[in-house]
Structure 1
Amino acid sequence: MYEQEPSADQESVDDLKSRIFRVRLPKRSVTNVLQNWVSEGREIGVSELRKITKELRQSQRFKHALELSEWMIAHNECQMSDSDYAVRIELMTKVFGVDAAERYFESLPPRAKTSETYTSLLHCYAVLKLTEKAEQLYRKIKESDLSFTAITYNELMTLYMSVGQVEKVSAVVEDLKCQNVAPDLFTYNLWISANAAALKVDEVRRILDEMSHDPSFNDDWARYVKLVKIYLSSSNLVNSETNSVVETEKGITQREWITYDFLIILYGGLGNKDKLDQIWKSLRMTKQKMTSRNFLCILSSYLMLGNLKEVEEVIDQWKSSTTTEFHDSTCRSLSKAFAELGLQDKAAAFSMILTEECEIVDESQ
């Protein structure tokens, strides 16, 4: 079943939404419910279908949501919006797979190939971490005459962050600027996180300055900037002060919140090893696929604190992981980044560990 049994009160309600949600088995169709409703002489409005579809998606009842989408096309195609087509692409990916969603997208009439449908397909690629397909679609997006928002660019940046290709994030931001698209808070979040993961502190400061002068700067952005500045000036703060600031900022929504990777770097900058251990343990216990970026962030934080024993343990965990590759070139880049920050002793120690554990020789050292 999709969800818990409804209460007696819920069973007594007789409206379209209630009838649909009573069909709890995924193999059963809700199309019959719609047909029966109409046969009783009742109307089905597009806005009502959209609302119910949204609730079905939130309940992860994707098959039933897709059936409502199909009904809308069959009976109200003239009223279909760009968002309706975009939602259908997402639902087809969930139910039938990305190949079916691609075929559906290609079959759309030109008027339905909009910024929303392009972005929806790009989102599906990002979720599935299909980098090559996402980049091919992104090239088509740049060649089109359509107008896109920051959300589209954020999708590709999120993909690059998830697969550990943080070096590609800045190029996407440059594309965004060339198209005169206004970055949003999530854009800056990804951009800053990518540079923080690469230990490019000066670049983080430059982005913060640009962000502070953005015409869209608001209270949420100000809270974000404050958190990042805590990291940058952590050497001047004591744990009792910094912890209270971080804890009070938990009200920021997940979309606005700094990624776990950057949070790891933040606590590393604050010198709070207990928090680092806690976050890292929690991440490893989840079902989330670990990437090279996850390992590099915790490695850099432990190394900044001089915890070489933990660094060795994380490298062993990384090497034995079945869900991510051990990227030699990225490790060399991290070692080089420490050296450029004036941390030659830590860079040398890191290179030595890599040589021992991975038979990697950092030629730059």
Structure 2
Amino acid sequence: MLSKQLEQRENHPALSGKKIFILSASTFKKALDPEAPKCLSLRIEKLPGGESVGYAFQSWMGEGFPIHRGDIFHTINRLRKLRLNKRALEVMEWVVRERPYRLKELDYSYLLEFTTKHHGISHGEKLFLCVPSEFQNELLYNNLVISCLEKGVIRLSLDYMKKMREHGHPISYLIFNRLIILHSSPGSRKMIPKNPCSNEG
């Protein structure tokens, strides 16, 4: 099972680590622009639509600034508020690929969140299986369930909730809040059992 997961990881574009961003001479010149924003998140937000996030990271590092976990999390929270899901996904794909710091569960959680938002649940499920086993924990499970509920895939979310219960993972109150909202919707009410964590059905 482990060898299969490692093979899947090698083949997953977000985790393979095979892409390398090369900074051209013209791009390096732009990196030294005194007018460039002094905040990494703003630098990424101001990128033109067709520009790679790699340019923002390389220009940031070209000016002597390290890339810290806090910079990335601040950037992701900003992009989420702006609903720039594709750009947020690009940021996390770069982080997982280039590894500017030691990755933790929250990094993979963000990658999973924006993969499902931009590409759909099936891509999120595939990514989940490719994440190192030590990070396939309650945070990632809760994230996957919430993503399923946001997409309206109720039965699948209930299946993952049962798996969480089997593994002893706590279920976030955010999931139950979402279920309550969905239960108030006439179209979804029949699909949600009274006890979504039961072993029945």
2:141 maps to 118
Answer whether contact 1:101 1:121 (CA < 8 A) is retained: yes
Is 2:132 aligned against 1:109?
A: yes
Count of aligned positions:
162
Match of 1:67 among 70, 90, 94: 90
Report the 3-state secondary structure (helix = DSSP H, G, I; strand = E; otherwise coil) of the residue aligned with 1:44.
Answer: coil
| Distance 1:22-1:153 versus aligned 2 partners, 3 A rule | same
1:262 maps to none
> How far apart in 2 are the matches of 1:127 and 1:112?
22
Amino acid at match of 2:188: G
Question: Normalization by structure 2: what TM-score?
Answer: 0.69
Amino acid at match of 2:82: S
1:352 maps to none
| Distance 1:113-1:155 versus aligned 2 partners, 3 A rule | farther
> How far apart in 2 are the matches of 1:155 and 1:99?
21
Structure with a larger share of its residues in helix: 1
> How far apart in 2 are the matches of 1:98 and 1:47?
28
Shift in Å at residue 149 of structure 1?
Answer: 3.5
2:15 maps to none
Question: Normalization by structure 1: what TM-score?
Answer: 0.40
2:106 maps to 83
> How far apart in 2 are the matches of 1:65 and 1:35?
17
| Distance 1:31-1:161 versus aligned 2 partners, 3 A rule | farther
1:238-269 CA-to-partner distances (Å, cap 9, x unmatched) read xxxxxxxxxxxxxxxxxxxxxxxxxxxxxxxx
Is 2:13 aligned against 1:18?
A: no
> How far apart in 2 are the matches of 1:116 and 1:89?
11
Aligned-residue sequence identity (percent) comes to 22
Shift in Å at residue 152 of structure 1?
Answer: 3.5
Shift in Å at residue 167 of structure 1?
Answer: 8.2
Answer whether contact 1:126 1:158 (CA < 8 A) is retained: no
> How far apart in 1 are the matches of 2:183 and 2:154?
8
Is 2:185 aligned against 1:164?
A: no
1:38-75 CA-to-partner distances (Å, cap 9, x unmatched) read 23332111101110111011111111111221232232
1:44 maps to 67
Answer whether contact 1:93 1:100 (CA < 8 A) is retained: yes
> How far apart in 2 are the matches of 1:143 and 1:167?
21
> How far apart in 1 are the matches of 2:192 and 2:87?
38
| Distance 1:85-1:39 versus aligned 2 partners, 3 A rule | same
> How far apart in 2 are the matches of 1:145 and 1:170?
20
Answer whether contact 2:68 2:101 (CA < 8 A) is retained: no
1:143 maps to 166
Report the 3-state secondary structure (helix = DSSP H, G, I; strand = E; otherwise coil) of the residue aligned with 1:171.
Answer: coil
Answer whether contact 2:138 2:171 (CA < 8 A) is retained: yes
Amino acid at match of 2:106: S
Shift in Å at residue 130 of structure 1?
Answer: 0.9
Unaligned runs of 5+ in 2: 1-33
Could you say what the CA RMSD is over the residues aligned between the two structures, in angstroms? 2.5
> How far apart in 2 are the matches of 1:35 and 1:29?
10
Amino acid at match of 1:19: R
> How far apart in 2 are the matches of 1:32 and 1:133?
38
Higher Cα radius of gyration: 1
Report the 3-state secondary structure (helix = DSSP H, G, I; strand = E; otherwise coil) of the residue aligned with 2:88.
Answer: helix
User: Pairwise mapping of residues 150-299 of structure 1 onto structure 2 (< 5 A)?
Assistant: 150-162=173-185, 163-165=187-189, 168=192, 170-172=194-196, 175=197
Answer whether contact 2:79 2:85 (CA < 8 A) is retained: yes
> How far apart in 1 are the matches of 2:41 and 2:173?
34
| Distance 1:140-1:158 versus aligned 2 partners, 3 A rule | farther
| Distance 1:157-1:77 versus aligned 2 partners, 3 A rule | farther
Q: Which has the higher contact order (CA 8 A, sep 6+)?
A: 2
Answer whether contact 1:66 1:91 (CA < 8 A) is retained: yes
Shift in Å at residue 166 of structure 1?
Answer: 5.9
